[in-house]
Amino acid sequence: MTRAQQQADHPEHGDQAHGERALAAIESALREASPIQGGARELVALSRMGASAEDDPPWTWREHGHVRTTLRLICWDGPRGDGARSIVDIREQDAVIVLRELIATPPQRLRAYILGWADAVGVCLERMPDDCWAMPADLVFPRILQLKRPQTREHYAAALLVRSRLGRWMSGA
């Protein structure tokens, strides 16, 4: 196990204060961005399953050093004459949103990544074909933090919308 992995798995060996600030930035950005809506779909970040019945349970947790969250993708049918919609499908998965080796990323950059990801997912959901069966974890690309160029919300959104990432799920991409 590398030193970075040990520090990610055991905060007492690394900068615990930075890890707490990083998690707070991720948590705050997820709460601000959720739900992400686009067309007849909605992606929602959920509070931790099995969390205590606090007023404000966490939306993220660490597992093997990675930061994870539960994502629920809801697909709706089109509005009926009375404007009501029905749920066609619900898919829910736990997904890694920040890899353990990237948790040392500055909190402001983590926040820009999460908000840019939410913007890009909204565009993707809007342009996703009706017969698309993407799962929630298919819409997350935590390795994007390895890129040096994206630094802002807009840069992350643009980088995520390329065909090799979220673009593969969109019509006409």
Q: What is the pLDDT of residues 14-47, one digit of tens each?
A: 567 777 888 899 999 999 999 999 988 999 998 7
Q: H-helix or E-strand containing 46?
A: strand 41-46
- Please report which residue ranges of the chain form alpha helices under DSSP H: 3-9, 16-33, 107-127, 153-160
* pLDDT tens-digit series, residues 40-73: 899 999 876 544 445 556 778 888 889 999 999 9
* pLDDT tens-digit series, residues 119-147: 999 999 999 988 888 999 999 999 999 99
* pLDDT tens-digit series, residues 66-106: 999 999 999 988 766 677 778 999 999 999 999 999 999 99
State both tokens at 79: 């509005």
**Per-residue model confidence (pLDDT) at position 15:** 65
Q: pTM of this prediction?
A: 0.83
**Per-residue model confidence (pLDDT) at position 170:** 92
Q: How far is CA 31 from the centre of its chain?
A: 11
Tokens 């509070």, residue located: 47
> What is the rounded distance in angstroms from the CA atom of residue 79 to the CA atom of residue 145?
38
Average pLDDT rounded to a whole number, residues 1-11: 47
